[in-house]
Structure 1
Amino acid sequence: MAKIRGVAIITKRKNIEAKAAATKIAGMLGAKGVRAFAVSPLKIRGCETLEQDKVKDRVDLIFAIGGDGTTLKAFRTIPGDLPLLSINVGGHRGILSEVYAENMESAIKGIIDGRGFYDSRIRIQAVAGRAALPPALNEILLTRADLSRTPTISIKLMGDEIKHRMDGIVVSTPTGSTGHNLSLGGPVLHEGMSCLILTPIAPVNKMPQLVIPVEEIVVKSSHKSHLIIDGQESFVVEAGREVRISQHALGVKFLRLQKKGMRQLAKLGF
């Protein structure tokens, strides 16, 4: 791993524990001659504030301090080709995390000394009409807007079309297989695989989850719907409008310290 010159820090803005960890990390980096930046609008003691459009030119690495939500948001905020270290401070399970509060100091020392490797993941993106929506690392969820009506959802994939009445559909990456997909009874996949999972939500007629190659999927609902990106950003899709979901041009890179097989299983309690 190349020498690190600068690190940009993204953290939970209202979490005291995460912000204290960010301040401590900034001091550790400075003592080792590595510049620490806070990504605007975040302000961290000991860090210079850096606008988002300047991040790629000034830093080599991103630290996301918080839970999985912070990591997901960070990947939508920063350029996709910058590697990210996910530090779970003030989060919950931290399925995406590599470092925790208790091993934070030793981990960062190791990274500065050149240890670590990159773990690449695919992302997906939805296009509704002419609007390209933000990329998703975990999943894209299409769900009904009117809770009193069950829409018919059309799914076109690999030259076939499936139509079912259901509450919605989740399109997950392998990284997102432990999210909504798992909650709905879907399979947990190794995060390094290149495939997608289609998980129906409450279909009137039984429909299985599908694991398919990474190809374009076209989804359309007979009723007004909400399209939700990684559980964080929501968009309205009018009835009958096609939503095209495909692999995003830029994947993401995690910085890892230890090689693990099915790393998600231990964090899920298995």
Structure 2
Amino acid sequence: MSQNPEDTNVGFPPSWRWPASSSSITTNAEQVKSILIVNKLRTKPVIDTIDSFLVHLRTHYPHVKVFHEDRPDIPQGVEMWRPGQGAQKIHLVITLGGDGTILHASSLFKVGAVPPVLSFSMGTLGFLLPFHVDDFSKALESVFQGKATVLYRMRLSCAFSDKDGNSIGNKGEDWQVMNEVALHRGSSPHLNTIDAFVDGQHLTEAVSDGLIVSTPTGSTAYSLSAGGPIVHPSLSALVLTPICPRSLSFRPLVFPASSSITLRIGERSRAPAGVSMDGQASHILNPGESVTVRSSLHPIPCINRSSISDPAFDAQGEGAGPGKEDDWVRDINNLLQYNATFRSKALLRHSRS
């Protein structure tokens, strides 16, 4: 689907359509008027980094308002921000932490469009966090000069229903999930029995430890550990992965993003199902209750590391120029060690020489 020209500006556009996988952001210093900082627990490295950020922003972008979510450890000199209706509009989100930090940032925007997210790795894995924190001045300059490109990471919209099909939980609003929705047997010693429906058609009765519905982004998280496929995040797809199924023929499936997947706890299930969304427990579903998962209308625009790549590398024939390199390809090799051989690094160095 093509992108609405009105939707390319940073901030909250009037409406979103599913955009192209990578697109230039038409940003400049006048358009970015507010920044929300989302960080992990305030350890000393995080505190020092936030202080450096604030000094840099006040020196180079004094017109920008800086917000922080409502927490007891809010930094000095920033304004408090609370999500929900009537919240101050945010034009750029900066995250400092691990992959869990960007998942938390996603959860702050449950309704409507999500501002572009500039993520800095200060955690363990950092698969979703493209920038090293030492590059923050260069990354900010890229955004304010309109040179940044984004990858629109798909989210899931999740709605819960009781036995009669009536909405339950979350006050009628759909949950927005970036990685996955997982149904699991929790502490029960019994397997779940879950009926899976695709676009209203019964697909299968799954007897297993649970089922996962993930986005392409989430395909490298819990779904991957359960044996699911690795899916490029620019694709629009839903991944259904069983957790320890009783049947040997139950294999993961990939559906188009236009599909609607309903998981209903079977009446014969010997255990209720716990529901976790992006790793956070949310519901307990009893027999007859269900969750319906669809593609959200509001993806997350994540700013690419390749936005600030050095053009000199391209001139030397090494790598790609700014905005062209695929961060994901690099990450599945460097972070996930995709198809890594058993040869030692010493042997590899010897063979190259």
Q: Does 1:2 align with 2:30?
A: no
Distance in 1 between the 2:299 and 2:234 partners?
Answer: 12
Q: Contact 1:8 / 1:55 at 8 angstroms: preserved in 2?
A: no
Q: Contact 2:180 / 2:213 at 8 angstroms: preserved in 1?
A: yes
Residue-by-residue CA offset, 1:23-70 (whole Å, 9 max, x unaligned):
211211111123322222251133222333488644310101111101
Whichever structure has more strand as a proportion of its residues is 1
Residue correspondence of structure 1 range 91-102 to structure 2 within 5 A: 91-102=123-134
Secondary structure in 1 matching 2:287: coil
Gaps (5+ residues) in structure 1?
Answer: none
Q: Partner of 1:217 in structure 2?
A: 261
Segment of structure 1 superposing worse, 15-24 or 222-231: 15-24
Cα 1:81–1:230 shift into 2, 3 Å: same
Q: Does 1:240 align with 2:283?
A: no
Residue-by-residue CA offset, 1:176-208 (whole Å, 9 max, x unaligned):
110011111211111010011111011111110
Q: Does 1:83 align with 2:116?
A: yes
User: How far 1:249 moved relative to its partner?
Assistant: 2.8
Q: Which has the higher contact order (CA 8 A, sep 6+)?
A: 1
Distance in 2 between the 1:105 and 1:227 partners?
Answer: 40
For residue 47 of structure 2, what is the amino acid of its counterpart? K
Q: Does 1:172 align with 2:214?
A: yes
Distance in 2 between the 1:72 and 1:198 partners?
Answer: 20
Distance in 2 between the 1:66 and 1:166 partners?
Answer: 34
Q: Contact 1:12 / 1:19 at 8 angstroms: preserved in 2?
A: no
User: How far 1:209 moved relative to its partner?
Assistant: 0.7
Q: Contact 2:159 / 2:175 at 8 angstroms: preserved in 1?
A: no
Distance in 2 between the 1:219 and 1:18 partners?
Answer: 40
Residue-by-residue CA offset, 1:84-107 (whole Å, 9 max, x unaligned):
111112x11111112112323322
Out of 179, 196, 207, the residue aligned to residue 238 of structure 2 is 196
Q: Contact 1:11 / 1:19 at 8 angstroms: preserved in 2?
A: no
User: How far 1:8 moved relative to its partner?
Assistant: 1.1
Cα 1:150–1:59 shift into 2, 3 Å: closer
Segment of structure 1 superposing worse, 185-194 or 4-13: 4-13
Q: Does 1:145 align with 2:186?
A: yes
Secondary structure in 1 matching 2:66: strand
Distance in 1 between the 2:206 and 2:280 partners?
Answer: 26
Distance in 2 between the 1:55 and 1:95 partners?
Answer: 33
> Quick one: percent identity of the two aligned structures?
25
Distance in 1 between the 2:239 and 2:150 partners?
Answer: 24
Out of 41, 51, 54, the residue aligned to residue 26 of structure 1 is 54
User: How far 1:257 moved relative to its partner?
Assistant: 4.2
May I ask how many residue pairs the two structures share in their alignment? Answer: 269
Q: Contact 1:71 / 1:86 at 8 angstroms: preserved in 2?
A: yes
Q: Contact 1:29 / 1:35 at 8 angstroms: preserved in 2?
A: no
Alignment RMSD (CA, Å): 2.0
Regions of 4+ moved over 6 Å: none
Q: Partner of 1:44 in structure 2?
A: 75
Distance in 2 between the 1:136 and 1:60 partners?
Answer: 21
Normalising by structure 2, we get a TM-score of 0.71
Normalising by structure 1, we get a TM-score of 0.91
Cα 1:193–1:13 shift into 2, 3 Å: same
Q: Contact 2:116 / 2:300 at 8 angstroms: preserved in 1?
A: yes
Distance in 2 between the 1:112 and 1:88 partners?
Answer: 20
Segment of structure 1 superposing worse, 52-61 or 10-19: 52-61
Cα 1:6–1:55 shift into 2, 3 Å: farther
Q: Partner of 1:103 in structure 2?
A: 135
Distance in 1 between the 2:88 and 2:262 partners?
Answer: 36
Segment of structure 1 superposing worse, 127-136 or 137-146: 127-136
Secondary structure in 2 matching 1:95: coil
Gaps (5+ residues) in structure 2?
Answer: 1-25, 162-166, 307-322, 339-353
For residue 97 of structure 1, what is the amino acid of its counterpart? L
